[in-house]
Amino acid sequence: MDKIFKKYHPMTETAFYILFSLTEPRHGYGIIKNIEALTNGRLKLGSGTIYGTLMKMQTDGLIVLFSDEERKTIYEMTTLGQQILQQEMQRIKELHDHIIQFEEGKQ
């Protein structure tokens, strides 16, 4: 299990936003649109990115199938996924702190 935590530390921006989108159950295409909305159109994921990442995260136990309808494969986060998301959010806060400290030091 520890190996998985290292594997996702740090995460890429793309992987983070995908996992972050799964704080509620969503399907691939829905995640793409959610990220596009969150970032005001800045981040548009390619199909290879989303389906490849979802498969990898499923293999690693970060997410599981929530429902598998005809044309919608919906995923939800596992407890492990939540822990890894938490770890990543902590890391981003660390980055943010460094930036704030730097900006304060400039004045």
Partner DNA sequence: TCGACTATATCACGATGTGACATATTATTG
Partner DNA sequence: CAATAATATGTCACATCGTGATATAGTCGA
Binding site for DNA (CB under 7 A): 7, 12, 14-15, 27-30, 33, 44-49, 51-56, 71-74
Instruction: Decide whether 7 or 72 has the Cβ nearer to a second copy.
Output: 7
What tokens does 49 get? 């990115």
Size of the site for a second copy (CB under 8 A): 18
- What is the DSSP-derived secondary structure letter of residue 43? -
Contact 57, 81 (CB under 8 A): yes
Q: How far is the CB of 68 from a second copy (least distance, A)?
A: 27
Q: How far is the CB of 86 from DNA (least distance, A)?
A: 18
Residue with token string 């936003």: 17
Burial of residue 98, with CB atoms counted within 10 A of its CB: 0-12 exposed, 13-18 middle, 19 or more buried? exposed
Site residues, a second copy (CB under 8 A): 10, 12-13, 16, 20, 23, 38-39, 89, 91-96, 98-99, 102
